[in-house]
Structures are given as structure tokens and as C-alpha cells.
Amino acid sequence: MNHRGGWALIKNTWQSWLQHRGFFFLLAFGWMLPLLVYMLVWSAAAGEGSLEGFSQETLAGYYLILILSNQLTYPITNWTVGDNIRIGQISRWLIQPMSPLYHALSAEIAGKVVFMVFSIPVTGLLALLIHPTVDINITNVILFLPALLFAWVLRFFWGYWLALLAFWATRADSLLALQDTFIFLLGGHLAPIHLLPDWLQPIARLLPFRYMSAFPVEILTGQVTGQETLLGFIALTIWLTLAILLYRFVWQRGIRHYEAVGG
Amino acid sequence: MLHYVKLIGQFFKISAQAEMAYRANFFIRLLYSVLNVVTGLFSLVVIFNQVESIKGWDLPSALVLLGIYLLLGALRSLFMGPSLESVAGMDGEIWTGTFDFTLLRPVNKQFMISFRYWRIFALIDLIFALGVLVYAIVLLGTPLSILTLIRFLATLTAGILLLYAALLAFSSLVFWNSGFLFTWVINDLFQLARYPVGIYPNWLRLILTWIIPVGLMTTIPAQALAGTLSPGLLILTIFFSVGAFIGASLLFRRGLQKYSSASS
């Protein structure tokens, strides 16, 4: 496999995306807003007191970090996989001497860079405005980083295998909308997992959506105990393995099914 | 006047025919509509499972507000959104320069760009929104007097007018900077109307009331229905919405004068 070509592609994509930054800043702004809305809703609900241990300040800390980690784990490229299969772009990638995964990877990394250029200053400014509190200790930071990386890989591959169903069904991207909805409801966006109704919390901890988004933030803000962290990492690893297996299965079947017309 | 009504009928018919060509899309749109409503309802269930009320808003009154939000959203995606988007959105006519052809049509320009395209599948959203609204009114439990109903309809109309004015104003900004997707900004900001403006911090509340009146669009009609709206605020809202409409129309006209076509 040609990794040098892959790296050149990654650099190229990210430089070209930075030129269209206005567009990407708008996308980042759009993703930020729902989280800000729920931060303000829960802050108003908590008032001067606290809800299940969450005060206004800790809610603000949770949501501001979630805004950043959500953008770092959001796989925007999943949305274009279907289009590339439909219009036949994928034919060109298949004959290049490197894995087509690099095209997704280059866009992913380019996206993260451009989004952070916008989102880090904006969340920083918001932090000055609303005074969040976060108890950060070094263990949490060390555990946060792999959790964040795995969350991205899980979210990416889970969306990727869904998007690859476009080999058979033209509108497979509607499954991605379904996934986004589940992440919003059960992945700590609508509410931190601890604020969900009691009957829903075990379900949210079992399904993969928490591990795609809220789990690293919970670690960093110290919401989970050591044992819960360990269990979380186990669940994350299981879902991640499953996602990669599903990706490989769907990809191999899809490639055999794929027929390009014209060129 | 009748001429314009007939034109809207024609626009609707043409758009409907175009969309009916992609009939399988119906199921995708249905899925998105269901997701939208379920997310809205579920959010309220989760929030009011934790607290009885937020700054005076309990579950039924928040549900009324959600119904109004969904209703405005449905109207936006039914015609305001697609029509204005076709001019000011991504690959819109001002980007591509095909706006010249629109200007040549012998009708009022603002009318043309506001009512031209209809997305008939948004009628599903409209039905869901009305369903939520009716259910919320039932849950509210107070019998509706004629006066309350009139107040509600008047403020709801004002809310629709405010939404239209905001969309038109943001779309008009594209005449000054054609590379920026102003319509996306207002679509994003509209999400703030999902919850009562009173729950936001003071500085944000002031912005959402007077500068980008997203907060008024849903909060005021919901208050009118619950009977907590003062007559002064009711009259102020109606005047404000008419003023916003006039202001946005003037802005559009100013922008139109600036339009210098794209070379082709």
C-alpha cells in the first residue's frame, strides 16, 4: 500500500479546503448551535441549584467540550460516499495504487483542521462569556485522548458501512440521518447521559452512539468512575471491531457488485 | 390580486409535477419528517422528566411552542425556503448569473422570488405540526375562548411574517456579498426558536427579540394561546412584524439596485 501518496493527498486536500473556509465555518457554526441551545436549556433548568450533580458551570463545561469533540469525531465524508458511488467517481479511485480509504481520510483530516480553526476561538470566546468549570486531572486527559480517537474511528466506520450500502440502494444516505438522530438523542447531545430518564440510561450505555460522541467528554469532565471507564472502553472496543468487520464485509461485497458505466 | 393567486397556483402545480417524478423520495421525506417530530417530542419528554417547569414553562406550554416551531418550519420548507434558496442559496441564481432571466419576467420581483418553488413533501411536516399543536392545546386543558383564538391567530400571522422578513433580509444580503451563504445562517439561527426566548441569558434574549427576532416568532404566539400575553406586547409584536416586513422588502429593493449581473 502506498502511504506516501496517501500523505500527499491528505496535505493537498487540507490546503485546498482552507481556501473555502467560509463554507466550512458555516457548517461548523450550524453543528454548534443545537448543542448551545441544549446547554442553555439545561442551564435554565438547573437555575442556581443543580440537577443530578450538574450546575450551570459544569453543564457549560460539558457542552463546550462536547462542541469541539463532536466536530472532531463527526465524519463529514460519509455523506459523499453515496454520491461518489452513484456518479462513478469511485472507479477512478479504484485504479489508483492506494486504498480508496485515503480519499476519505484526507477529507476527514482536512475537515478537522478547518473546523478547529473556527471552533476553538469561538468556544474560547463563549467560555469567557459563560464561565464554565471543568475538573481536569492528568489521568482524565490521558484517558480522554484514546477515547476521542476511538470515538472518531468508530463513528467514521459505522457511518462508512452504512454509506457503502449505496452500492445497492441509491438513497442509503438517509441511514446517516438516522444515525445522526440517534447520536443526538442517546449520544449525550440532547442531555448528558446522567440526565436522561432512568429507564433510558442503560440503553444509552449499551448502544454505540454514546461511544461515538459523549464518552470521551464524560471522561475528561470526570463524570465516570474508574470502573465505568473500563466498561466503557470495553464496549467501545467491541463496537469498533464490529464496525470495521461490517465495513470490510460490505466493501468487499459492494466492490464485486459495482459496475461502472461510461468513464 | 387574483392574477397573483392564480400564479401561486401555477407555481405550486409545476413544482408538484417536478417532485412527483421522484416518487420514492416520498418515503425518504417521510422518514425525515418523522425524525424531526420524534426528536422534538422526545427532547421535551427528557427535559420535563427532570424538571417540572423552566422559567414558567411547563410541558404543555412548551409543547404548544414546539407545535408552532414545527408549523413555521413546515411553512419555511414548503415555499419560502426553496424559493429564496434558489436565488440566494448555494449555486443560486445570483451566483450563477441566471437571475437575469428572473428579472425579465413581467411580475413583481419580490413576489416572484418568494413564491416560485414549492416543496410539496413539506405538507407532511405541516400535518405533523398541526397534530402536535392540537394535541398540545388539548393537554393545556383550558377551553379556548374566541378572543384567545383571535389573539393566537394574529400573533401566529405576525410570527410567520417575521420569519419571512428574516429570511428575505438574509437572502438580500447576498447582493452585497455573493460568496457567502447567508440563508444558512438564518436557518441555523432559527433553531433557537425551538425554546421560549425567556430561558436564554439576557444578552441573547435581547438579540433574539430586537435584532434577529427569531425568539418572537414562536414565543409570542405560544404565550397568546396560553393567555399570558399582555395586550401591549400583542400590539407591539404586530407592529414590529409589519415593520420588519417593510424593512426587509426595502433591503431587497436596495440590493436589487446593486445587482450588476454576473458575466456569462
Query: Do the Cβ atoms of A140 and A222 come closer than 8 Å?
Result: yes
A210-233 as b/e: b if 16+ CB within 10 A: bbbbbbbbbbbbebbeeeebeebb
Tens-digit pLDDT profile for residues A197-253: 999 999 999 999 999 999 999 999 988 988 999 999 999 999 999 999 999 999 989
Distance from CA of B49 to the nearest CA of A (A): 7
Percent of chain A whose predicted confidence (pLDDT) is above 70: 98
Q: What angle do CA B254, B258, B264 make, to 5 degrees?
A: 140
Residue A2 has pLDDT above 70, yes or no: no
Q: Which of A38, A181, A195 is closest, CB to CB, to B50?
A: A195
Could you tell me how many CB contacts below 8 A there are between chain A and chain B? 74
CA torsion, ordered A238, A240, A241, A245, to nearest 10 deg? 140
Amino acid at B96: T
Q: Which of B24, B47, B185 is closest, CB to CB, to A45?
A: B47
Q: Does B34 touch chain A (CB under 8 A)?
A: no
Residue A38 domain-assigned (yes or no): yes
Q: How confident is the model at residue B264 (pLDDT cuts 50, 70, 90)?
A: very low
Query: Do the Cβ atoms of B241 and B168 come closer than 8 Å?
Result: no
Query: Rounded mean pLDDT of A21-48?
Result: 89
Q: Do B46 and A191 touch (CB under 8 A)?
A: yes
Percent of chain A whose predicted confidence (pLDDT) is above 90: 51
Q: Name the pTM for this structure.
A: 0.91
- Determine the structural domain holding residue A19 and report its residue range: 3-257
Spell out which chain A residues touch chain B, with contact meaning CB-CB distance below 8 angstroms: 22-23, 26, 29-30, 33-34, 37-38, 40-42, 44-45, 51-52, 130, 171, 174, 177-178, 181, 184-185, 190-191, 195-197, 200
Q: What pLDDT score was predicted for residue A263?
A: 47
Residue A262 has pLDDT above 80, yes or no: no
Number of domains comprising chain A: 1
Residue A263 domain-assigned (yes or no): no
Tens-digit pLDDT profile for residues B20-38: 888 778 888 899 999 999 9
Query: Rounded mean pLDDT of B48-74?
Result: 93
Q: What pLDDT score was predicted for residue B262?
A: 60
Torsion sign, CA atoms B191, A207, A216, A157: negative
**Residue B196: closest CA among chain A residues belongs to which residue?**
A41
Q: Which of B28, B47, B184 is closest, CB to CB, to A26?
A: B184
Q: What pLDDT score was predicted for residue B80?
A: 92
Q: What pLDDT score was predicted for residue A142?
A: 93
Distance from CA of B5 to the nearest CA of A (A): 36
Measured from the Cβ of residue A145, the count of other Cβ atoms closer than 10 Å reads 12
Residue B211 has pLDDT above 70, yes or no: yes
Domain boundaries, chain B: 2-258
Torsion sign, CA atoms A11, A12, A15, A21: negative
**Residue B187: closest CA among chain A residues belongs to which residue?**
A30
Residue A158 domain-assigned (yes or no): yes
Q: Do B55 and A178 touch (CB under 8 A)?
A: no
From A7-11, A59-63, A222-226, B138-142, the region with the lowest mean pLDDT: A7-11
> What SS3 state is found at A133?
coil
Residue A31 domain-assigned (yes or no): yes
Q: How confident is the model at residue A149 (pLDDT cuts 50, 70, 90)?
A: very high
- Summarize chain B as % helix, strand, coil (round to 5): 80, 0, 20
Cell of A5: 501518496
Residue A63 domain-assigned (yes or no): yes
**Residue A45: closest CA among chain B residues belongs to which residue?**
B54
Q: What is the DSSP letter of B192?
A: G
Residue A209 domain-assigned (yes or no): yes
Bridge-based pairing state of the strands B57-58 and B53-54: antiparallel
**Which residues in chain B (98-157) have CB-CB distances under 8 A to chain A?**
none
From A145-154, B71-80, B207-216, B235-244, the region with the lowest mean pLDDT: B207-216
Q: What is the DSSP string of A160-175?
A: HHHHHGGGT-TTTHHH
For residue B164, give the nearest of B183, B181, B151, B191 by alpha carbon. Answer: B183
Q: What pLDDT score was predicted for residue A13?
A: 80
Q: What pLDDT score was predicted for residue B37?
A: 95
Q: Which of B39, B47, B50 is closest, CB to CB, to A181?
A: B39
**Residue B57: closest CA among chain A residues belongs to which residue?**
A45
What is the Cα Rg of chain B in Å? 19
Q: What pLDDT score was predicted for residue A1?
A: 54
